Amino acid sequence: MKILALGDVVGPAGLAAAASGLRPLKRELGADIVIVNAENAYISNGLDVRSATVLLESGADVLTGGNHSLRIHDSFDMYDENDFVLRPHNYPAAAPGKGYTLFQTGSGVRVLVMSLVGQVFMDGADAPFNCAEALLGTLKGQYDIAVADFHGEATSEKYAFFHNFDGRISVMYGTHTHVQTADEGLLPKGSGYITDLGMCGVTTGVLGVKPETVISNYTSKIHHRFEKAEGPTALCGALFTVDEKSGIVKEVKRIRKDYPA
């Protein structure tokens, strides 16, 4: 089976690119399930109901989250009611929604998708290693293949997580930095990984934001409100080919589709 994972959708431009390009990309690659990180899909930060609806109707099967997921209070009911819109699993239990879901593909494969956030250089959250370990134990026998979106800043933390769960979580990838890494690969016990999928958004900005608003922060220490960049866009992610019976990943392929402004 093939699992397509796309990095952080950033603002209206990223949302528009996903809305028009996601279903054709899914068809082109023959993906059985599409997982999209949507924590930045709103015009500022966070995920609003409209953006989530657009992504799900455009071909996404599961939306994962990150440190901005719960910025919009109007979305809390959505997190509670929709099993396929996730916030980080290692957030406090009192937070709206949940951090994992079980998705069944058309061929009957049960896929566990978990959304996690890192601790290094990030806002406070429970230990992602411990939370993932407990979740795998609780759901043992209820899934065939496990997938983890590790939303984190530090490469070392992501790599440590990948190695720790090699052979137990088939597909593991990082999100959050908005920069696609070139380190996709296979681990000794059969898992596939990439440190960061990159983003779905404008390619000429600074991580999807207008350059001048970011540069000012560095050159004058005057913080201006970040405005989303405009221009050509790209959908960035990775395609994982997984053996359905063993859960062993056969191939990891970086994906980038560019679209003119």
User: What pLDDT is stored for residue 151 in this prediction?
Assistant: 98
Domain presence at residue 215: no
Is residue 216 included in any domain, yes or no? no
For position 221, what pLDDT does the model report? 79
259 CB neighbour count, 10 Å cutoff: 14
Q: Given this model, what pLDDT does residue 214 score?
A: 83
Tell me the C-alpha distance between 198 and 182, whole Å: 10
Question: Phi and psi dihedrals of 209, rounded to 5?
Answer: -110, 150
φ, ψ at 228 (rounded to 5°): -65, 140
What's the total number of domains in the chain? Answer: 1
Q: Does residue 34 fall inside a structural domain?
A: yes
CATH number for position 184: 3.60.21.10
Distances (CA, A) of 38 to 17, 43, 230: 13, 12, 19
What backbone torsions phi and psi does residue 180 show, to the nearest 5 degrees? -70, 130
Closest among 93, 249, 115 to 184, alpha carbons compared: 249
Is the pTM value of this prediction over 0.75? yes
Our answer to whether residue 176 is catalytic in this structure is no
Residue 83 lies in a domain: yes
- In a domain, residue 6? The reply is yes
Whether the Cβ atoms of residue 194 and residue 4 lie closer than 8 Å to each other: no
pLDDT value of residue 223: 73
Residue 225 lies in a domain: no
Query: Is residue 226, in this structure, part of any structural domain at all?
Result: no
Q: Tell me, yes or no, whether 219 lies in a domain.
A: no
Q: What is the three-class DSSP state of 205?
A: coil
Note the pLDDT of residue 138. Answer: 98
Beta bridge pairs of residue 174: 150
Q: List the chain pLDDT tens, one digit each, 261 residues.
A: 999 999 999 999 999 999 999 999 999 999 999 999 999 999 878 999 999 999 999 999 999 999 999 999 999 999 999 999 999 999 999 999 999 999 999 999 999 999 999 999 888 899 999 999 999 999 999 999 999 999 999 999 999 999 999 999 999 999 999 999 999 999 999 999 999 999 999 999 887 778 887 888 788 877 777 777 889 999 999 999 999 999 999 999 999 999 998
Q: Domain residues for 169?
A: 2-204+232-259
Please tell me the predicted confidence (pLDDT) of residue 32. 97
